[in-house]
Amino acid sequence: MKGISLLGATGSIGTQTIDIIRSNRDQFELVAIAVGKNLELTREIINEFHPKLVSVQNQADAAILQREFAGISKILSGDEGLIDVAVHPDANLFVNAILGSVGLVPTLNAIEAGKTIALANKETLVTAGHIVMARARDRKVPVLPVDSEHSAIFQCLQGERQKNIERLIITASGGSFRDNTREQLLDVTIEEALHHPNWSMGAKITIDSATMMNKGLEVIEAHWLFDQPYDKIDVLLHRESTVHSMVEFHDGSIIAQLGSPDMRIPIQYALTYPERTPTNAARLDLTELGTLHFQKMDFNRYRCLRFAYEAGRRGGTLPVVLNAANEVCVQAFLNGKIKFLEIEDVIEWALENHVPTANPDLDTILSVDQETREIVTKHLVSRFH
């Protein structure tokens, strides 16, 4: 029996992780969860799984749940609650499916506690990949990718030698606006942006797919997970989201992982690794698909992808700024405060105005993250009001 602690239990990845646990109760026990503000769904999860520990974002919500579930679950709150969930003594596997850079510190604590990490939260590696991967190596803790592209690459690399890799090829659907020109993006609505062509995901990552920042974050994530230089990480536009990513080897072979666009496949692979267990995910009918399309990326069309490569290559605190500025701007867009194309303008402004620190330690990363949020928030107020 694997004990699982789960951050982001009420979200898109979190609920799909719970689906897998529900279907495999002989293999997995949900021992601890952290959620944000969705108390209704949290109550349902507690009633079904009786996790020993539950953490919610706010203290006031914790007090409400503690009254309701006294004797069933211990209820905590805030950043400390996230850490207590991550290191719960009955958990062997820590699934990080929380949104944003708030996922970083719990991951580091879980590594210190020797937990196997199943990582969906891409902000962890974008902001502090050098620290996270070094600590995981020191503690001999596996970091198993959940993100579909990284799971695909991880699967392609099973049994392969690192020295034989020529390049990683990450696929991108193109997001909600892949058929629009930049001029057509000037006045797009929130609803249009949230309409992803292939995947059903949380709001923030769906906007990131539309701006192509998601692919930028994934390039940085791949750099750290697979220890590859940026020159050996390519992105291809692939409309079907059927090939989830590929690895080219130096003998000219390309190995790809294919499957229907269903996150339960990569989540379950991380939960059961090194086993591969059955799912009832829709099967791919390649004859029905007929043709797969691949196109070069246009870095002028997708400026956020260019920013991410630049921030990744220059390194230091620049990826922290890239991520924090993006988190603030996407939230501002979702709140109707800025237009879609202003997301990338403001991220560019934040990167240009940052003097990077090389090889930052954790305290520096956390303070640059916080400062960037404050600076960008002020900039948005002064620019648009």
Ligand X SMILES: NC(=O)C1=CN([C@@H]2O[C@H](COP(=O)(O)OP(=O)(O)OC[C@H]3O[C@@H](n4cnc5c(N)ncnc54)[C@H](OP(=O)(O)O)[C@@H]3O)[C@@H](O)[C@H]2O)C=CC1
CB of 235 to ligand DXP, least distance (A): 9
SS3 261: coil
Binders in 243-302 for ligand DXP, by CB under 6 A: 263
172 binds ligand DXP (CB under 6 A): yes
Rounded Cα gap, residues 66 and 52, in angstroms: 12
Measured CA angle at 262 (ends 39, 149), to 5 deg: 105
Which residue, 147 or 344, has its beta carbon nearer to Mn ion?
147
172 binds, among Mn ion, ligand DXP, ligand X, none (CB under 5 to 8 A by kind): ligand DXP
Residue span binding ligand X (CB under 6 A) among the ranges 201-209, 284-292, 294-302, 362-370 = 201-209
Q: What x/- string results for residues 141 through 180 when contact with Mn ion is judged by CB under 5 A? A: ------xxx-------------------------------
Q: Tally Cβ neighbours within 10 Å of residue 290.
A: 7
Which residue, 148 or 317, has its beta carbon nearer to Mn ion?
148
CB of 101 to ligand X, least distance (A): 9
Measured CA angle at 127 (ends 121, 129), to 5 deg: 85
Cβ neighbors of 378 (< 8 A, separation 6 or more) are none
* Torsion angle of C-alpha atoms 273, 274, 280, 286, degrees rounded to 10: 120
Size of the site for Mn ion (CB under 5 A): 3
CB of 39 to ligand X, least distance (A): 8
Tell me which of 29, 61, 147, 221 binds ligand DXP, using CB under 6 A: 147
Q: Are 3 and 88 contacting, i.e. CB atoms less than 8 angstroms apart?
A: yes
303 binds ligand X (CB under 6 A): no
Tell me which of 55, 214, 228, 268 binds ligand DXP, using CB under 6 A: 214
Cβ neighbors of 139 (< 8 A, separation 6 or more) are 111, 112, 114
CB of 27 to ligand X, least distance (A): 22
Rounded Cα gap, residues 66 and 69, in angstroms: 5
> For residue 97, which of 215, 3, 209, 18 has the smallest C-alpha distance?
18
SS3 117: strand
Residue span binding ligand DXP (CB under 6 A) among the ranges 184-192, 208-216, 308-316, 373-381 = 208-216
Tell me which of 85, 153, 170, 263 binds ligand X, using CB under 6 A: 263
Q: What x/- string results for residues 108 through 137 when contact with ligand DXP is judged by CB under 6 A? A: ------------------------------
Binders in 176-195 for ligand X, by CB under 6 A: none
Specify whether the backbone of 319 is left (phi greater than 0), alpha (psi in -120 to 50) or beta: alpha
- Please return the burial class of 179, using the count of CB atoms within 10 Å of its CB with bins 0-12, 13-18 and 19+: exposed
246 binds ligand X (CB under 6 A): no
Q: Are 122 and 104 contacting, i.e. CB atoms less than 8 angstroms apart?
A: no
123 binds Mn ion (CB under 5 A): no
**Is the Cα torsion angle 265, 266, 272, 273 positive or negative in sign?**
positive
CB of 345 to ligand DXP, least distance (A): 21
Query: Footprint of ligand X on this chain (CB under 6 A)?
Result: 8-14, 34-38, 57, 97-100, 102, 120-123, 147, 199, 201-202, 204-205, 263
Residues that bind ligand DXP (CB under 6 A): 147-149, 172-173, 175, 199, 205, 209, 214-215, 263
Q: Which residues bind Mn ion (CB under 5 A)?
A: 147-149
